[in-house]
Amino acid sequence: MKVVVSLAELWEVRRFLNSPVGLVPTMGYLHEGHLSLVRAARQECACVVVSIFVNPTQFSPTEDLSTYPRDLERDLDLLEKEGVDLVWTPTKEIMYPADFQSWVLVEEVTKPLEGAMRPGHFKGVTTVVAKLLNAVQPQKAFFGQKDAQQSVVIRQMVKDLNYPVEVKICPTVREPDNLAMSSRNAYLQPAERQAATVLSRALFAAREAYQNGERNANRLRKTMQAVFNQEPLARVQYISCADPNTLQELDLIEDHALLSVAVFIGKTRLIDNILLP
């Protein structure tokens, strides 16, 4: 496994990688969710490239950039065991030199949900993913359903800007108690860690109502709210039942729906989602 930092080193190694090349973009502090993307890439691609970069432009000034968990040595160890070919760990000076001034903006699908709660977040995400795709030039790129809106936004960008890459979305990997894996789970104190199961409990309660025939979106939102009401440590930011492609809120579920939630557990902001049916 090669580990490179500079663009020059990356391009030098990239020339000799067999196609198809699969890219897995990450912010590090890897867990089984990330590794499931690496394994999917390993299955489908001749060469697997993983990027590790905590992207400052997708954090607002009030968010957790400075405390975001990092452990490069452990990450490299895990990736080596997965048979990754190349790891790119650029610095922020490489990605955003002092005279940096070009951005990628996706319009409609970045407006609701995470986009409404985290202004500027997706501008940072689309710009960094565009830069990663341009630098690595993979044939396939792997993302997690855990960040549902991010997958919609990336698909839109890839389509709109004619990136010659196939976007693959992999299922959310969960802990045994169904908490969606996330690097940010490391922030949770023991009582908060227990309370954090409320996200999947709320989503699964709505899914059960759906499976019992409920198609009214508002009643599904209320089902989720009722579960959160039982958890004193949870402070809900949004509860959504939206069209999985446009992310517009639904009145009635006709075919598909994306149920998604953003919730503070103490100071830690968690998101989770499921697709219906």
3-state secondary structure of 64: coil
- Number of residues engaging ligand AMP in binding (CB under 6 A): 17
- In angstroms, rounded to a whole number, what is the distance separating the alpha carbons of residues 136 and 186? 30
Contact window for ligand AMP (CB under 6 A) among 31-39, 133-141, 201-209, 251-259: 31-39
Identify whether 20 is preceded by a cis peptide bond (ω within 30 of 0).
yes
Beta carbons of 51 and 30 less than 8 angstroms apart: no
* b/e 23-54 (16+ beta carbons within 10 angstroms → b): bbbbbbbbbebbbbbbbbbbeebebbbbbbbb
* CA atoms within 13 A of residue 155's CA, in its CB half-sphere: 16
* b/e 226-249 (16+ beta carbons within 10 angstroms → b): ebbeebebbebbebbbbbbeebee
Q: Shortest gap between Cβ of 80 and ligand AMP (angstroms)? A: 18
Transcribe 197-258 into DSSP letters.
THHHHHHHHHHHHHHTT--BHHHHHHHHHHHHHT-TTEEEEEEEEE-TTT-PBPSB-SS-EE
Binders in 10-29 for ligand AMP, by CB under 6 A = 26-27
Identify whether 277 is preceded by a cis peptide bond (ω within 30 of 0).
yes
Binders in 37-76 for ligand AMP, by CB under 6 A = 37
Establish whether 256 is a catalytic residue.
no
- Residue 33 found at the interface with ligand AMP (CB under 6 A): yes
Q: Shortest gap between Cβ of 215 and ligand AMP (angstroms)? A: 28
- Contacting residue, 147, 192, 231, 272, with ligand AMP by CB under 6 A: 147
String of contacts with ligand AMP for each residue 94-133, x by CB under 6 A: ----------------------------------------
Q: Shortest gap between Cβ of 15 and ligand AMP (angstroms)? A: 26
Q: Shortest gap between Cβ of 229 and ligand AMP (angstroms)? A: 26
Binders in 167-186 for ligand AMP, by CB under 6 A = 170, 172-173, 180-183
**Closest chain position to ligand AMP (CB):** 144
* Active-site position among 31, 34, 121, 256: 34
Q: Shortest gap between Cβ of 81 and ligand AMP (angstroms)? A: 17
- Residue 141 found at the interface with ligand AMP (CB under 6 A): no
Beta bridge partners of 264: 235, 269
Binding positions for ligand AMP, rule: CB under 6 A: 26-27, 33-34, 36-37, 143-144, 146-147, 170, 172-173, 180-183
Which amino acids are annotated catalytic? 34
